[in-house]
Amino acid sequence: MDRAPASHADAVVVGAGFAGLYALHKLRSQGLSVRVFEAAPEVGGTWYFNRYPGARCDVESVDYCYSFSDELQQGWNWSEKYATQTEILDYMNWVADTLDLRRDITFSTRVTSAVLDEQALRWTVTTDGGEVVSTRFAVMATGALSAAITPDIPGLDSFAGQIHHTAHWPHEGVDFTGKRVAVIGTGSSGIQSIPIIAEQARQLYVFQRTPNYSIPAGNRALTAEELAEIKAGYAERRRVSFRSGGGSPYVGSTTPTMQVSAEERRAAYEKRWQLGGVLFSKTFPDQMTDLTANEEAKRFWEEKIRAVIDDPQVAELLIPDDHPIGAKRICTDSNYFETFNSPHVELISVRRTPIESIDATGITTTAAHVDVDAIVFATGFDALTGALGKIDIAGRGGERLRDDWADGPRTYLGLTDDGFPNLFMITGPGSPAVLANMVLGAEAHVNWIADCIRHLDENGYAAIEATPDAVDDWVAECAQRAETTLFTKANSWYLGANIPGKPRVFMLFCGGFGVYNDICAEVAASGFKGFELLPG
């Protein structure tokens, strides 16, 4: 039975991670009444949930933080090049306190549906707590990587030991001392946690499906002098970041890989290797578009990795041979590959010997049964569409967003969809999202949405809605851009390949963060081309 809205708001924001917190602050500052609903009991989103050992950012801390307020930028002192989950969560709590955000957030409350009232051009938002709110704008800050997945392995429920997922890690921590542990999954989360779990565990079994590329993070403490210098130069650092390909202040070489000598090439890779981190993928501008260029980078990577693994057979298993380097999200690590030199760490390829079942005592593969006391799932997320798909979103004519996206997400600019007026997504599919620093990505989106709302109000419009043509063209543009890169050459979660039955569509805009920001700015400056502005 439909329930009448108990309250009204100008905007409902779903989620209180980096995106939702800034959306609340920005829209509230613009005079809107804003309600935020967050499923977790606290702020933080990703950084509230992903508390596994070794969890850190892979964009430098000084860049992976809000840029919109110089007071915030200057007021926080990052202690390491890549901050731990704890430090990032502390930062987000500090921001929430500093900006007095909590008073408009309802915690431990999940939004279950958002239904459009076509006459009133308002959304009725319902929560699992039974609250019903009528709102003019619905802002989905639900996260690109917030719907964790655990594979459906026969017998999982019968396991008598501990089961953990990296994305739902217990707040009190887990002590693996003296335990036999299985980690399933070798993406970024597995690769960050495995070396630390190995330090504690009596025996560690790593179940690997696809070998992954990882680059040493090169993490280190930041000195007071460095921080002071960065803070003094923040304005320029951020300007460059918003114009860059990936949202960090990195200006790459413009010379293609094969146009420099073999010595210069090697020196360039070596330099990036020593600096550490994901920017190894951008050593040369054609690394992600040209297979020959990519092979060069891959060769260098392979040489480095083989040099630190003692057993050549283990190295053979750990080195990817089915996708270009960077075509899946590149990982960063501290001693990941070295961990496999320890006698108590065993690598099990589930490609060679698939997992068949789990019983009370452990995991059975086609080759053997391993007894374990704990199983850690580092098996990732239903990325980009998962969290949105869990909300029953009904637009014009009652059409469900999840039905509209049955063949892959349809958006204009990654921000909106036709048939869903005044419903915005932050870092949604069709935007650069996870291909760029997501804090700045969220800021760019929130700023665009706030400007759009101001435009509507100043010109007496009730709502904005993407046209079907604009959505179709944008989907086609994203696909075309992806085809010119190597991103489509891997079975990645960018393509939904990690979820059985999910449509195989490259879900991101891969033309670069700066280019994307220009397109969004141009659309706004043109009076919102590709949109219909609807009178009240």
What is the contact surface with ligand FAD in residues (CB under 6 A)? 14-20, 37-40, 45-46, 50, 55, 57-59, 64, 110-111, 141-146, 189, 387, 390-391, 426-427, 434, 437-438, 442
Residue 416 makes contact with ligand NAP by CB under 6 A? no
- Cα distance between residue 131 and residue 278, in whole Å: 43
Residue 378 makes contact with ligand NAP by CB under 6 A? yes
Residue 58 makes contact with ligand NAP by CB under 6 A? yes
- Cα distance between residue 387 and residue 141, in whole Å: 10
Q: Are 186 and 208 in contact (CB under 8 A)?
A: yes
Nearer to ligand FAD, 21 or 470 (CB): 21
The pair of structure tokens assigned to 375 is 């199983």
Please report how close the Cβ of residue 184 comes to ligand NAP at its closest, in angstroms. 5
Residue 382 makes contact with ligand NAP by CB under 6 A? no
Residue 51 CA from chain centroid, whole number: 15
Please report how close the Cβ of residue 408 comes to ligand FAD at its closest, in angstroms. 20
Please report how close the Cβ of residue 200 comes to ligand NAP at its closest, in angstroms. 19
User: Looking only at residues 327 through 366 of this chain, which bind ligand NAP when binding is defined by CB under 6 A?
Assistant: 329, 332, 350
Q: Are 513 and 441 in contact (CB under 8 A)?
A: yes
Residue 385 makes contact with ligand NAP by CB under 6 A? no
User: Looking only at residues 142 through 181 of this chain, which bind ligand NAP when binding is defined by CB under 6 A?
Assistant: 145, 151, 166
Residue 57 makes contact with ligand NAP by CB under 6 A? yes
Per 3-state DSSP, the chain is made up of helix, strand and coil in percentages (nearest 5) of 35, 20, 45
The pair of structure tokens assigned to 525 is 């400056």
Residue 61 makes contact with ligand NAP by CB under 6 A? no
DSSP letter, residue 400: B
Nearer to ligand NAP, 187 or 246 (CB): 187
Could you tell which of ligand FAD, ligand NAP, none binds residue 37, using a CB distance below 5 to 8 A set by kind? ligand FAD
SS3 per-residue string spanning 180-235: EEEEECCCHHHHHHHHHHHHHCCEEEEEECCCCCEEECCCCECCHHHHHHHHHCHH
First to last CA, the chain: 28
b/e sequence 363-383, b meaning 16+ C-beta within 10 Å? bbbeeeebebbbbbbbbbbbb
Please report how close the Cβ of residue 391 comes to ligand FAD at its closest, in angstroms. 5
CA angle at 145 for the pair 496 and 187, rounded to the nearest 5° = 70
Please report how close the Cβ of residue 517 comes to ligand FAD at its closest, in angstroms. 15
Please report how close the Cβ of residue 386 comes to ligand FAD at its closest, in angstroms. 9
- Cα distance between residue 37 and residue 56, in whole Å: 26
Please report how close the Cβ of residue 513 comes to ligand FAD at its closest, in angstroms. 11
Q: Which residues bind ligand NAP (CB under 6 A)?
A: 56-58, 145, 151, 166, 184-190, 192, 207, 209-210, 329, 332, 350, 378-381, 434, 493, 498
